[in-house]
């Protein structure tokens, strides 16, 4: 009974009561309460979901960790950039104004909203229960909020090393644009790995190798999506001179991967971000962004906060190269090779390349 | 039932309570009564959910878990509100219950707020008429038949209904056709070919209300995309589909392009077994035994080749992983790489991903739409509760749907289907604010004129790989070439009618000389019979009445119709025929020359040629100075679909109608025998371009058909009481335009009809042998000179 009155007193103080004649109305203490579980809100780039790639991975990672930890989620994929900004403003306003003790984490998935985030993150400081996780930036936030950067350099380096080891492979690196750091880093990693591998070849072998690059948006910061019609035209053009495409262009990569996998284009393509299970995809360079985001959310829940800035990559296992078991990768015939069949890339060779990639990523990022 | 009466009464002494009450602002007195009451009022609302739950265990499980998930989300989302909807579902099985009777029952039950379902097209057609009478809201999640949905639409497109009640959450399959055809056309262009030179496309659809939309609209969309069409076939069962496809593949092998990548075959299927049968057929066609595992070394290439050869674009909704699993690995291997399309959820809502995380499987199309149907019902129910009115409940609910799905200034910036976003939406509604929202499957918007039909649907491109159902890509159409992006797909506008006209009427500067006009005659023929063909008689009588109004007497009109039709026992107005509800009795004052039951096409030929026989005492005079109008409404056949290009005659077999050859010969003889000065031939039936084509080259003849050689001609003005369409679009447009603009030119008449005869392409032929269509007009055939 004593416990009951303590509770009742608290309820009375917390909730308004009304009186009508001789009757005082109080809230029913047994009434079902609205959930106060921590709320994770994620805002994506415009029309980002449905890419079967980076963004879908984040969505799944968040939903899985929410299921595991009993969190509530709102994941919004606006239809335009402006709509995304409006939503960000709405969410920041609500977090600023929130008077309750509900813990709220706000996740921004790409640097598309960088200017807004860096101008407004201080607004969250008035709410001790609000926090921010900003992905894909190397520059930590000043003031409230954490950042997480998943380096793709090492995995791409390993991918480039593998390509140089393959016999007479002609590759084409396809970047979304010159301006997005995640794209240029990845392309640099692949090129560095490829060039490092060339040093191990003979002059004759080198003369038979080729790696070139192109950008979908030569002048701007776009190039992350492409229509099927344009993609098919480009594929016809590219595959005249190359036989392996390395598409580092977000959602557009998915279009190229899908098209190559569904028709006889006569070319191959490397899976980007997620493992691409196709006869035409000899290996994939994978980002486990879902695991990285889930891990950060666990830290936020369990430790009360996330590290101010996290740089994760191939060493921590958040990126990796996965060989497609249904594809045979024929390598250059090594000097003194006496086998009767064309030599293939072995797991031991790949492991050596991986260790080299780990070292190179550390050098690059520091 | 209102739940807010569940108060808990507790009497407490002021000694304990007084300080607390003072602290909280209430002044307590001795003997005061304290009542605990809930802060929110739950209002129970019942939705009748009509779903195919007896189809199989998996279907039932999926429907139930999706509904339960929604109800839980809805409940949780309202815990911040004071007025909340407690949605109760009353389940009905659309496969075992008498749906017409169920419709009658639900339509009058005041405790049922709305009906969600049925999911099948035929089921909707059975249940909806009863609900139409009381305007009981029916939210149809997956019905996509143009014919079924358009019957219950509201508005201007030749539809008489005044008040909406049926809400179709998926666009009709006209849009699905568009998606299939546009994707194929883009593919052809991408490989450097012109679609117009590619192998003619073929489409195989089931002979039911689902397949009918593809059959009706496939050729139309193909023409819009510039894709030649050769086969448009309806199959009756799996065996029939098998034999038709085999015959088609045999034909393909005779073509010079055999093996080309530019073969477009569209197959509309309804079961995984059909897909498996087709995949096996294709292997057998290549002399491979589908029951023998393929050689490991060439397996991958074989799989790809088998799928790619003569690639078929499958339209197949509701493919499920558990069905693939049930086939076993060997059978699934035959299906490796096969791909197709289905209406689905917009991926940007996240519903598909959340569902997969929650249930470990992909949602079906039906589940995505079920979720949205329940959400729409709940939101509308909430709106009705928050906005009391004296109007009748069904009307309030239907109006609420219009209100909440009409674009708002405020946006939720995303989907409103999960707990937290639904909470934001409903909380705003409680505060009197409406916001735009997306459902689990994307935008929920309805045609702004006809209401009934959704105007946004996402389609998923699925593929079977490694025994798994994978989603490759998402496509949608937002009405790029319809009259407006806010209109239903059946309001699709012919893209370039002026260009089409210019290409068909290229004799702008040629002059013709005709003898002086001596008389004007009209021969008006209904080629069909029976109650279901009410519209054809209305078409003919509509033209008849226009002629009479324009000064023609009965001696100059030869009228041929089905005499028994107007007095059919199903006609609630015996002897009366109207082209629209409440319209003029078109039969009144008409003078019948022939009952078509007494004639044959050869007799029609005699009438036109002025040959009097025992059966044809009334014929055209032989006068080289007279203008002759021939108007024909009824059914049509074409060589591919039925074996003959003809205007069908009553219930006669194909080949027994007014064939293209017979019509061509007849009019050619009329010209040679000097029976007309100028002649205008207007044909309403399906495919009727085929019968006017032979008239090209005959001097003095102009002919216009309602539809292209592979196209249907569409009906208008559905009447649920009569159970028939009241008229046809082309005929209605013809009469409307000629009545409003008696001095119109042929060009303007063509443009009017071409732009408003939705669903088919109006064709006009032989202007080179007739006259300048830009300066002359049909007044010479319709107005007594």
Three-state SS annotation for B90-152: EEEECCCCCHHHHHHHHHHCCCEEEEECCCCHHHHHHHHHHHHHHCCCEEECCCCCHHHHHHC
pLDDT digits (tens, 9 = 90+) for B42-54: 999 999 999 999 9
Note whether B296 and B420 are same-domain residues.
no
Cα angle: B118, vertex B121, B125; to 5 degrees:
80
d(CA B153, CA B660): 36
How far from the centroid of its chain's Cα atoms is residue B179's Cα? 14
Residues 6+ apart with CB under 8 A from A280: A260, A261, A265, A267, A268, A269
Of B212, B208, B206, residue with least CA distance to B173: B212
- Alpha carbons within 13 angstroms on the beta-carbon side of residue A144 total 19
Interchain contact, A86 vs B411, CB within 8 Å: yes
Nearest CA in chain B to A49: B348
- Measured between alpha carbons, how far is B435 from B425 in angstroms, rounded to an integer? 7
Helix axes A54-69, B351-359, angle to 10 degrees: 50
Q: Are residues B103 and B249 in the same domain?
A: no
Q: What gap in Å lies between CA A12 and CA A179, rounded to an integer?
A: 58
Helix (H) / strand (E) containing A102 = none
B509 within domain boundaries = no
Check A60 against B8: CB less than 8 A apart.
no
Residue B167 lies in a domain: yes
The residues in B 25-44 lying below 8 A from A, measured between CB atoms, are 25-29, 31-40
Name the DSSP class of B454.
B
Q: Are residues B343 and B359 in the same domain?
A: no
CB-based contact, B745 to chain A, within 8 Å: no
Higher pLDDT, B663 or A91: B663
Q: Mean pLDDT lowest for which of B341-355, B445-459, B618-632?
A: B445-459
Is A364 strand, coil or helix?
A: helix
What residues of chain B lie within 8 A of the CB of A228, using their CB?
183, 186-187, 190, 473
CA dist., res. A251 & res. A56, Å (int): 11
Cβ contact (<8 Å) for B353 and A27? no
Residues B199 and B298 reside in one and the same domain: yes
Whether residue B698 sits in one domain with residue B593: yes
Q: What whole-number distance in Å separates Cα of residue A136 and Cα of residue A54?
A: 11
> What are the tokens at A302?
């369990």
On chain B, the residues whose CB falls within 8 A of the CB of A94 are none
Q: Is residue B134 domain-shared with residue B229, that is, in the same domain? A: no
| B360 has pLDDT over 90 | yes
* DSSP 8-state class, residue B362: P
pTM value is 0.84
Nearest-angstrom CA–CA distance, B454 and B436: 15
The pair phi, psi for residue A354, each rounded to 5°, is -65, -45
Residues in A closer than 8 angstroms to B346, CB to CB, are 50
Using 50, 70 and 90 to split pLDDT, how confident is the model at B12? very low
Taking only the tens place, the pLDDT of each residue in A243-285 is 899 999 988 898 898 888 766 677 899 999 999 888 889 999 9
Distance between CA atoms of B128 and A267, rounded to whole angstroms?
53
Provide ipTM, 2 decimals. Answer: 0.86
Sort A308 into a burial class: Cβ within 10 Å, 0-12 / 13-18 / 19+.
exposed
pLDDT score at A230: 87
Q: What's the count of helices (H) and strands (E) in chain A, helices before strands?
A: 11, 15
Those residues with Cβ within 8 angstroms of residue B18's Cβ, 6 or more apart along the chain or in another chain: B28
**Integer-rounded Cα radius of gyration of chain B:** 31
Classify residue B294: in a domain, yes or no: yes
Query: Would residue B722 count as lying in a domain?
Result: yes
* Contacts of the segment A343-347: beta carbons below 8 A, 24+ positions apart: A345/A162, A345/A165, A345/A166
Residue among A29, A77, A228 minimizing CB distance to B348 = A77
Reply yes or no on whether the pLDDT at B482 is more than 70: no
The residue among A6, A10, A60, A63 with the most chain B CBs within 10 A of its CB, best to mutate, is A63
Output the six-digit token pair for B746. 């042929």
What is the average per-residue pLDDT within B591-619? 97
CA angle B401/B402/B404 to nearest 5° reads: 65
CA distance B416 to B439: 6
Query: What tens digit of pLDDT does each residue of B367-410 get?
Result: 999 999 999 999 999 999 999 998 999 999 999 999 999 877 76
Q: Is pLDDT at A36 greater than 50 in this prediction?
A: yes
Verify whether the Cβ–Cβ distance A232 to B414 is below 8 Å.
no
Which residues from A are below 8 Å from B419, CB to CB?
Answer: 35, 72
Domains and CATH numbers, chain A: 39-150+291-312 (3.40.50.2300), 153-286+327-357 (3.40.50.2300)
Question: For B646-683, how does the pLDDT look when each residue is reduced to its tens digit (9 = 90+)?
Answer: 999 999 998 999 999 999 999 999 999 999 999 999 99
**pLDDT value of position B674:** 96
In a domain, B507, yes or no: no
Cβ distance B20 to A279 less than 8 Å, yes or no, reads no
What does the alpha-carbon distance between residue A342 and residue A347 come to, in Å, rounded to a whole number?
A: 16
Tokens of A181: 């750091």
Residues A190 and A160: their CA atoms lie apart, in Å, by 4
Angle B317-B321-B327 from CA coordinates, rounded to 5°: 105
* pLDDT tens track for A51-86: 888 999 999 999 999 999 999 999 988 888 888 898
Give the DSSP H/E element, type plus range, for residue A27.
strand A23-27
Provide the percentage of residues in chain B whose pLDDT is more than 90. Answer: 60
Q: Which residue has the tokens 């159902």?
A: B469
B24 touches chain A (CB under 8 A): yes
The nearest alpha carbon in chain B to A255 belongs to B473
In a domain, B236, yes or no: yes
B414 and B543, same domain (yes or no): no
Amino acid B493: pLDDT: 64
| Cβ contact B583:B739 at 8 Å | no
Composition of chain A by helix, strand, coil, percent to 5: 40, 20, 35
- Tell the residue number behind the tokens 């021939």, with chain if given: B630
Q: Which domain holds residue B756?
A: 519-782
Is B505 inside any structural domain? Answer: no
Residue A184: the pLDDT is 92
Interchain contact, A49 vs B183, CB within 8 Å: no
Inter-chain touch B414–A50, beta carbons under 8 Å? no
Please tell me the distance from the alpha carbon of residue A42 to that of residue B578, in angstroms, as a whole number: 59
Query: Predicted confidence band at B7 (pLDDT cuts at 50, 70, 90)?
Result: very low
User: pLDDT by residue (tens digit) across B231-254?
Assistant: 889 999 999 999 999 998 888 777
Extract the tokens encoding B694: 């032979």
Interval B311-321 mean pLDDT: 91
Q: Of the candidates B366, B318, B356, B350, which has an alpha carbon nearest to the alpha carbon of residue B417?
A: B350
Report how far residue B677's alpha carbon sits from residue B517's, in angstroms, rounded to the nearest whole number.
7
State the first-to-last Cα distance of chain A, in angstroms, to the nearest integer: 63
- Joined together, the tokens standing for residue A311 give 């740089």
Nearest residue in chain A measured CA to CA from B73: A72
Reference B536, options B727, B704, B753; nearest CA is: B727
CATH number for the domain harbouring residue B395: 3.40.50.2300
Q: Among A280-289, A291-300, B447-456, B478-487, which stretch is predicted with the lowest mean pLDDT?
A: B478-487
* CA–CA dist B316, A235 (Å, integer): 29
CB of B525 within 8 Å of any CB in chain A?
Answer: no
Question: pLDDT tens-digit profile of B128-170?
Answer: 999 999 999 999 999 999 888 888 887 554 555 678 999 999 9
C-alpha A254/C-alpha B772 separation (Å) is 55
Instruction: Tell me how far apart the alpha carbons of residues B286 and B292 are, in angstroms, rounded to a whole number.
Output: 14
| pLDDT for A46 beyond 90 | no
Is residue B732 included in any domain, yes or no? yes
- Please tell me whether residues B365 and B422 are part of one structural domain: yes
Residues B253 and B130 in one domain: no
Are A77 and B190 an interchain contact pair (Cβ–Cβ within 8 Å)?
Answer: no
Could you tell me the two tokens for B485?
A: 């992006």
| A12 with B353: Cβ contact below 8 A | no
Tokens of B400: 């609420």
Residues B410 and B284 in one domain: no
Residue A190 reports pLDDT greater than 80:
yes
Q: Is B413 near chain A, with CB under 8 Å? A: yes
Helix (H, G, I), strand (E, B) or coil at B63: helix
According to DSSP, the β-strands at A244-248 and A268-269 are parallel
Please indicate, yes or no, whether residues B228 and B198 belong to a single structural domain of this protein. yes
For chain B, what is the total number of helices (H) and then of strands (E)? Answer: 25, 29
Range B345-360 burial, b when 16+ CB lie within 10 A, else e: bbbbbbbbbbbbbeee
Rounded to the nearest 10°, the torsion over CA B442, B144, B106, B447 is 60
Q: Is B473 on the interface with A (CB under 8 A)?
A: yes
- B16 and B48 share a domain? no
At residue B6 the predicted structure's pLDDT band, cuts being 50, 70 and 90, is: very low
The residue assigned the tokens 């045999």 is B250
| Residue where one domain finishes, among candidates B413, B434, B456 | B456
Task: Please answer yes or no on whether B33 and A23 come within 8 Å at the CB atom.
Answer: yes
* Whole-Å CA distances, B63 to B26, B59, B306: 50, 6, 35
- Rounded distance, CA B608 to CA B605, Å? 5
Q: Which stretches within B520-659 are classed as H helix?
A: 534-549, 601-609, 639-642
Number of domains in chain B: 4
DSSP H/E element including A258? helix A251-262
Rounded to the nearest integer, the mean pLDDT of chain B is 88
Q: Collect contacts of B250-256 with beta carbons under 8 A, ≥24 apart.
A: B252/B199, B252/B310, B255/B199
Residue tagged 């389609």 (tokens): B459
Sheet-wide strand order for B166-168: B83-93, B41-51, B112-116, B138-140, B166-168
**Which pLDDT belongs to residue B9?**
42
DSSP line for B256-318: TTTT-S---EEEE-S-HHHHHHHHHHHHHHTT--TTSPPPTTTHHHHHHHHHHTT-EEEE---
- Number of residue pairs across A and B with CB atoms under 8 Å? 160
The answer to whether the CB of A84 falls within 8 A of the CB of A112 is yes
């Amino acid at each position: 009974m004593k416990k009951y009155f303590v509770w009742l007193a608290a309820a009375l103080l917390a909730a308004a009561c009304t009186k009508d004649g001789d009757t005082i109305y109080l809230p029913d203490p047994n009434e079902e309460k609205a959930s106060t579980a921590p709320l994770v809100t994620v805002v994506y780039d415009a029309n980002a979901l449905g890419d079967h790639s980076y963004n879908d991975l984040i969505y799944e990672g968040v939903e899985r960790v929410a299921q595991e930890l009993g969190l509530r989620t709102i994941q919004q994929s606006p239809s335009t950039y402006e709509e995304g900004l409006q939503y960000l403003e709405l969410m920041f306003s609500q977090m600023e104004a929130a008077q309750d003790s509900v813990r709220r984490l706000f996740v921004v998935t790409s640097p598309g909203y960088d200017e807004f985030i860096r101008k407004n993150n201080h607004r969250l400081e008035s709410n001790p229960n609000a926090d921010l996780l900003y992905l894909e930036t190397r520059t930590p936030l000043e003031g409230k909020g954490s950042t997480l950067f998943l380096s793709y350099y090492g995995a791409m380096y390993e991918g480039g090393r593998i390509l140089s080891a393959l016999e007479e492979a002609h590759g084409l690196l396809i970047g979304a644009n010159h301006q997005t750091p995640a794209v240029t880093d990845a392309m640099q990693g692949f090129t560095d790995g490829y060039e490092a591998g060339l040093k191990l070849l003979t002059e004759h072998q080198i003369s038979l190798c080729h790696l070139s690059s192109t950008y979908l948006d030569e002048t701007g910061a776009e190039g992350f999506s492409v229509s099927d019609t344009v993609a098919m035209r480009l594929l016809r053009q590219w595959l005249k001179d190359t036989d392996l495409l390395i598409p580092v262009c977000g959602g557009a990569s998915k279009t190229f991967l899908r098209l190559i996998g569904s028709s006889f284009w006569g070319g191959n393509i490397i899976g980007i971000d997620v493992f691409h299970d196709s006869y035409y995809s000899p290996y994939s360079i994978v980002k486990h962004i879902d695991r990285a985001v889930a891990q950060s959310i666990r830290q936020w829940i369990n430790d009360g906060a996330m590290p101010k800035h996290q740089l994760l990559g191939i060493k921590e296992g958040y990126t990796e190269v996965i060989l497609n078991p249904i594809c045979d990768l024929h390598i250059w015939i090594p000097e003194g090779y006496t086998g009767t069949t064309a030599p293939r890339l072995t797991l031991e060779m790949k492991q050596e390349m991986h260790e080299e990639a780990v070292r190179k990523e550390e050098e690059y990022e520091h | 039932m209102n739940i807010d009466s569940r108060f808990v009464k507790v009497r407490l002494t002021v000694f304990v309570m007084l300080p607390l009450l003072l602290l909280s602002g209430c002044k307590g007195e001795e003997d005061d009564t304290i009542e605990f009451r809930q802060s929110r009022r739950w209002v129970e609302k019942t939705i009748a959910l009509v779903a195919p739950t007896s189809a199989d265990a998996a279907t039932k499980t999926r429907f139930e878990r999706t509904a339960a998930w929604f109800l839980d989300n809805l409940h949780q989302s309202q815990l911040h509100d004071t007025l909340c909807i407690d949605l109760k579902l009353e389940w009905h099985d659309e496969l075992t219950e008498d749906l017409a009777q169920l419709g009658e029952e639900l339509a009058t039950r005041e405790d049922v707020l709305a009906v969600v379902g049925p999911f099948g097209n035929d089921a909707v057609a059975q249940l909806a008429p009863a609900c139409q009478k009381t305007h009981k809201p029916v939210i149809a999640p997956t019905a996509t038949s143009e014919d079924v949905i358009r019957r219950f639409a509201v508005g201007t497109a030749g539809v008489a209904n005044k008040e909406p009640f049926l809400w179709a959450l998926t666009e009709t399959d006209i849009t699905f056709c568009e998606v299939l055809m546009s994707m194929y056309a883009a593919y052809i262009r991408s490989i450097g070919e012109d679609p117009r030179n590619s192998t003619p496309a073929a489409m195989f659809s089931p002979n039911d209300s689902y397949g009918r939309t593809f059959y009706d609209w496939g050729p139309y969309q193909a023409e819009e995309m510039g894709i030649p069409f050769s086969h448009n076939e309806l199959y009756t069962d799996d065996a029939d589909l098998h034999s038709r496809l085999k015959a088609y593949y045999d034909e393909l092998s005779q073509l010079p392009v055999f093996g080309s990548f530019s073969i477009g075959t569209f197959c509309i299927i309804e079961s995984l077994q059909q897909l498996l049968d087709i995949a096996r057929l294709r292997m057998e066609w290549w002399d491979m035994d589908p029951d023998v595992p393929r050689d490991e070394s060439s397996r991958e290439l074989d799989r790809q080749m088998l799928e790619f050869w003569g690639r078929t674009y499958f339209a197949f909704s509701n493919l499920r992983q558990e069905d693939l699993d049930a086939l076993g690995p060997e059978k699934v291997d035959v299906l490796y790489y096969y791909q197709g399309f289905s209406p689905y959820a917009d991926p940007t809502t996240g519903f598909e991903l959340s569902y997969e995380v929650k249930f470990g499987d992909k949602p079906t199309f039906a589940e995505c739409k079920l979720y949205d149907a329940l959400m729409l019902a709940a939101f509308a129910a909430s709106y009705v509760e928050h906005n009391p009115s004296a109007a009748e409940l069904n009307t309030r609910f239907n109006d609420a749907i219009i209100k909440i799905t009409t674009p708002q200034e405020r946006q939720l910036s995303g989907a409103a289907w999960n707990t937290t976003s639904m909470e934001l939406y409903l909380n705003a509604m409680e505060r009197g604010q409406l916001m735009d929202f997306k459902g689990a499957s994307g935008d929920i918007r309805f045609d702004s004129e006809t209401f009934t039909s959704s105007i946004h649907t996402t389609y998923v491109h699925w593929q079977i790989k490694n025994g798994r159902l994978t989603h490759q890509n998402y496509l949608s159409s937002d009405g790029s070439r319809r009259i407006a992006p806010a209109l239903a797909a059946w309001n699709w506008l012919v893209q370039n009618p002026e260009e089409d006209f210019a290409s068909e009427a290229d004799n702008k500067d040629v002059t013709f000389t005709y003898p002086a006009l001596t008389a004007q005659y009209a021969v008006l023929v209904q080629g069909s019979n029976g109650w279901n063909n009410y519209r054809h008689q209305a078409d003919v009588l509509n033209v008849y009445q226009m002629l009479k109004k324009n000064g023609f007497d009965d001696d100059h009109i030869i009228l041929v119709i089905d005499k028994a039709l107007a007095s059919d026992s199903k006609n609630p107005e015996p002897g009366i025929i109207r082209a629209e509800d409440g319209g003029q009795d078109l039969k009144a004052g008409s003078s019948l020359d022939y009952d078509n039951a007494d004639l044959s096409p050869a007799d029609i030929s005699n009438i036109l040629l002025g040959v009097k026989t025992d059966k044809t005492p009334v014929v055209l005079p032989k006068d080289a100075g007279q203008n002759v109008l021939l108007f024909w409404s009824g059914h049509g056949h074409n060589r591919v679909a039925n074996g003959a290009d003809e205007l069908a005659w009553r219930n006669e077999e194909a080949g027994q109608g007014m064939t293209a050859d017979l019509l061509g010969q007849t009019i050619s003889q009329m010209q040679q025998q000097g029976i007309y000065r100028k002649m205008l031939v207007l044909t309403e039936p399906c495919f009727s371009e085929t019968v006017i084509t032979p008239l090209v080259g005959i001097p003095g003849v102009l002919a216009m058909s309602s539809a292209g050689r592979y196209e249907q001609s569409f009906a208008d003005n559905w009447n649920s009481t009569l159970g028939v369409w009241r008229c046809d679009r082309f005929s209605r447009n013809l009469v409307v335009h000629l009545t409003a603009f008696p001095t119109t030119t042929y060009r303007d008449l063509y443009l009017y009809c071409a732009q408003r005869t939705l669903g088919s392409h109006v064709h006009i032929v032989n202007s080179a042998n007739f006259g300048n269509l830009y300066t002359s007009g049909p007044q010479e055939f319709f107005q007594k000179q």
